[in-house]
Chain A
Amino acid sequence: MKTNFAHLGPEERSVLARLKASLALRLAEEACAADAELQKRCPPNGIAMKLGIRGSDAPLRLQVPRTSSRRPSLLLFFPNTEAAVRVLSGAKGTAIPLPLGSGAFVALTFFRKALGRAAELLRSPDTSEETRAGLLLAATLYGLEAIAGESYLERRMQIIPDGVVGIRAGGIAYQVTKKGRTIHVQRDAPSAAASGSPHLDALLSFAGYRSAIDVLSGKRQAVVALGSGEVRVEGLLPLVQGLFAVLDRLSWYLGVEV
C-alpha cells in the first residue's frame, strides 16, 4: 500500500529525507564514475559539498572524485525534512545553498548535472548493464545504510547477526558491515570482485550485471533468482536474509508519494 508523505510520523520523515539525500549523493557519485562527459565537466581539483537537513541526522557528503580530500565548498541546506524530500524527488521546494569556500556554485551546478545524469542513465535503454547495475547497487546498499537505525527496524536489526557481507556483480564489489543497529557500506576495488575479499561472513553474488539489474529493479523476485541460481548466497545466511528484511522497508520508503 502506498503511503503519502503527509501521513508519515516525524521519525519516518527524517529517515526518508536522509534516505533521499544519501541516494542523491551516491547516485551522483556513480554517474560521475560512469560518465566521461560528466568527468570532463568536473573541475581539476574536484568537487566537495554537503547536504544538511534540519530535523535529520548529520550532513552527508559528496566527494568527486571519491579519492579527493578536498574540503566542502558548499552546504546545500534544507530547512525541513519535507523540503529535502520534495527537492530531492524532483518537486518544488526550498533548498538554501550556503557557500563554505571558493567554488561553491560550481559544486552546486555540478551536483545538479550529476544527479540529472544519474536519472538519465537509469532511464536510458542505451545505458550499459555495468553502469545500470552499479547505480542500482549503490542505491540499494546506501539506501540500507540510510534507514538502518530507524526504530521500526530495531528488533529486525537485533536478530540479524553482526558481520560483513561481500556483494559481487560482475566487476562491482561492495562490503556491507552490519553491526548492532548500523549498516556501513564500502565499495571495494574492482580487483576484490575477482580475488574474493577476506573477512567475509557471507557472500552474495549475482550471476552477472543483468541478474543484478533484474533483482534490484524488482523485475525478478530475489527468492526466485536465488532458487534459479542467478543469485548465490554463501556463508552466514541469517545475515543476508536479515538484510533482505531491511530491504523490504527500503522499498516501502521508496514508494512514499511526495
Chain B
Amino acid sequence: MSEMADEKSTAAGMSGKRIDGSPSPRFAVSMAYFERAAKVIPGGIYGSKSPGFLVPGHFPYYLSRAQGSRIYDADGNEFIDYLCGYGSQIVGYGNPAVDGQALEQARRGDLLNQPHPAMVELAERLVGLVEDMDWAVFVKNGTDATTLATSIARADTGKQVIVAAEGAYHGAANWCSTNVFPVFMQAEQRDVRFFPYNDVQALEALFAANKGHVACVILTPYHHPTYRPQQLPTPEFTAAAERLCRAEGAYLIVDDIRANFRLDMRGSHRFFGIHPDMVTMGKALANGYPISVLLGTDGLRKTASSFFITGTYWMSAVPMIAALATLGEMERLGGTARLAELGRTLKEGLESLGKEAGFRARVSGPLAIPYLTFDEDSDLYLNQRFCAAMADRGVFMHPHHNWFISLAHTEEDIARTLEAAQGAFRELGSSSSLAAERP
C-alpha cells in the first residue's frame, strides 16, 4: 500500500459507509480500497480478515503500519491493538531487536539455495527449550505444521483416523477446514472424527468406535473456538487423551500455534501438564515473520526423516533470525509472567466495569489470551456492540475471536483501554439494543 493511502485527503474515500448506511469518513480510504478489491479479489478480503467477521462500519479494513502496541489504519486512525496480528506479535510491532536483526539478514540474503546456519541454531534452541521435544522441522503456516504432524502420525501408525475437538481450529487445509463440500468429505475429511471438548466419555466412545484405526488425537492446549467463551482443559480430560492414545498406539499432537509462548516458554503443554508426541508452534514464534515449526519426540524421528518435506520458502533465513531474536526479547521483556500480569489487570478491570454497568461480562481463557463474552447474550449481540464501541474509542478488540496481550502493551495502554471500556459499557447500557428487546 502506498504512502498515499495514509492521507485522509485521498479523494477515493467518499463511498465510505457506516453499518447503518450513513457516511463514515473515518474509514473512507479503507472503504475505497475495499470497493476496488471487490473487483479483483474474491470477496474483497477473504477468510478471517473478511470485514463481516468484525463489525462493519466500526473497524478499518486496511492497516498501513504499526508500532509497539498500536496499529494505524489506511485512514491514519490509531488503535491500541488486542489482536496482535492474530497472536503473531508477542514482543510488539516493530520491535527494534527483532526487526534490526531480521532486516540485516534481509540485506544479506533471505531465500538461499541452502539453509542458513540460523536453522540449526533455532532448532537447537527450540529442542532445548520446549519440553520433551527432540527434533524440529520448519514450515511456514500453522496449517503446514498441523498437516505434517497428522501425516507423520498416519504414516507411522499405518492408521487413518484423526480425532479432533468440535470447533477447534487446526488450519485451512481440506482435512481440517470448514469448507464443507461433499467432494472433500468423501476424501480428506472422511477420516476425521470430532468430539465435544473436555468430554471424556465422548472421547472414549470415539476410540471404541474406531478401535484399531486411530492415528492421532490433535488438540489445542486449551479450547479456543471462535464465537464462544474459551475453555481450559480438565486434568481428567488431558489424562484420558494421553491414556487412550497410549492404549491405541496413537499419537497425541498439541497444536500450540495460537497460544505459542504466551502461557509457558517451554510450551503450553507444560502449562497444562500434557505429554504430547508432537507439538506445532507458529504465530508468535518469530513475532510476525512467517515461520512455524513441528516439534516431535525421538520415537517419531525416523518417520519424520523419511518424509519429503519441502516448500520454496520454508527454509528462508530472515524468519529464523527473527525467531531467535524474539526468544531473546521475550526473556528480556519479562516473558509469560509479564503477559499474565498485564492480562490480569485487563481481565479484572473489564469484569468489574461490566458488573458496575449491570452486565455479566466474563473474560475467559488464559490471562495472556483473554476473550470477553456476556453471560446474558450467547448470540453475541452485546459482544458486537461492545467491541464496536471500543473501536470507536480507539481500541481494537475482536468481537468473535480471542484477544492477545503482547509484551509491548503497557500499564498505560491497559488503563486507557479500561477507560474506554467504561464508556463502552455505559453506551451498551443506555442503548436500546436488540439483545435488550429479546425475551
List chain A positions with a Cβ less than 8 A from chain B: 152, 155-156, 159, 163, 196, 198-203, 207-208, 221, 223-224, 226-230, 232-238, 241, 245
Contact = CB atoms under 8 A, between A and B. Distances in A.
A200 B61 CA distance: 28
Interface stretch (B44-52, B107-115, B204-212, B313-321): B44-52
Interface in B26-42: 31, 34-35, 38
27 contacts: A155-B185, A198-B437, A199-B439, A200-B438, A201-B379, A207-B20, A208-B21, A224-B34, A224-B35, A224-B38, A226-B52, A226-B56, A227-B34, A227-B44, A228-B31, A229-B18, A229-B20, A229-B21, A229-B56, A232-B20, A234-B381, A234-B434, A235-B380, A236-B227, A237-B380, A237-B400, A238-B226
B186 to A, nearest CB: 11
Contact of A198 (B56, B226, B439): B439
B57 A229 contact: yes
Given A224-B38, A227-B56, A235-B379, A207 B21 contact: yes
B45 to A, nearest CB: 7
Contacts of A223: 43-44, 50-52
A196 B20 CA distance: 15
Nearest to A197: B437
Contacts of B38: 221, 224, 227
B58 to A, nearest CB: 10
A198 B438 contact: yes
Which of A163, A199, A202, A234 has its CB near the most chain B CB atoms (within 10 A)?
Answer: A234
B178 A196 contact: no
B384 interface: yes
Nearest to A240: B52
A199 B379 CA distance: 11
Which of B21, B50, B400 has its CB near the most chain A CB atoms (within 10 A)?
Answer: B21
Contacts of B50: 223, 227
Query: What does DSSP make chain B's interface, helix, strand, loop or mixed?
Result: loop
A201 B439 CA distance: 11
B43 A196 contact: no
B307 interface: no
Interface of B: 15, 17-21, 24, 31, 34-35, 38, 43-45, 50-53, 56-57, 61, 178, 180, 182, 185, 226-227, 378-381, 384, 400, 434, 437-439
A174 B60 CA distance: 31
Contacts of B51: 223, 226-227
Which of A159, A227, A228, A245 has its CB near the most chain B CB atoms (within 10 A)?
Answer: A227
Nearest to B30: A227
Given A207-B20, A227-B61, A233-B52, 10 more contacts: A159-B178, A202-B379, A223-B43, A224-B34, A224-B44, A226-B51, A227-B38, A228-B31, A235-B379, A235-B434
A138 B212 CA distance: 50
B380 A236 contact: yes
Given A155-B185, A232-B19, A234-B381, A196 B437 contact: yes
A82 B71 CA distance: 58
Which of A196, A229, A230, A245 has its CB near the most chain B CB atoms (within 10 A)?
Answer: A229
B153 to A, nearest CB: 24
A228 B438 contact: no
Given A196-B434, A221-B38, A237-B380, A227 B45 contact: yes
Contact of B180 (A199, A224, A232, A245): A245
A12 to B, nearest CB: 12
Given A234-B434, A235-B379, A237-B227, A156 B53 contact: no
A234 B44 contact: no
Contacts of B185: 155
Given A224-B44, A230-B21, A232-B19, A156 B180 contact: yes
The 7 closest A-B pairs by CB, nearest first: A227-B51, A229-B17, A224-B38, A207-B21, A223-B43, A226-B52, A235-B379
Contacts of A233: 52
Nearest to A206: B21
Given A224-B34, A230-B17, A155 B43 contact: no
A249 B205 CA distance: 34
B132 to A, nearest CB: 34
B380 to A, nearest CB: 6
A221 B42 CA distance: 9
B386 to A, nearest CB: 13
Contacts of A203: 434
Contacts of A198: 437-439
Contacts of B226: 238
Nearest to A196: B437
A155 to B, nearest CB: 5
A257 to B, nearest CB: 21
B237 to A, nearest CB: 22
A203 B20 CA distance: 13
A236 B400 CA distance: 10
Contacts of B438: 198-200
A229 B21 CA distance: 6
A228 B15 contact: yes
A208 B17 CA distance: 14
Contacts of A221: 38, 43-44
Contacts of B15: 228
Nearest to B189: A155
Contacts of B43: 221, 223-224
Contacts of A238: 226-227
A196 to B, nearest CB: 5
B202 to A, nearest CB: 16
A73 to B, nearest CB: 41
A130 to B, nearest CB: 17
A235 B399 CA distance: 11
A110 B203 CA distance: 59
Nearest to A223: B43
Contacts of A229: 17-21, 24, 56-57
A160 B40 CA distance: 29
B49 to A, nearest CB: 11
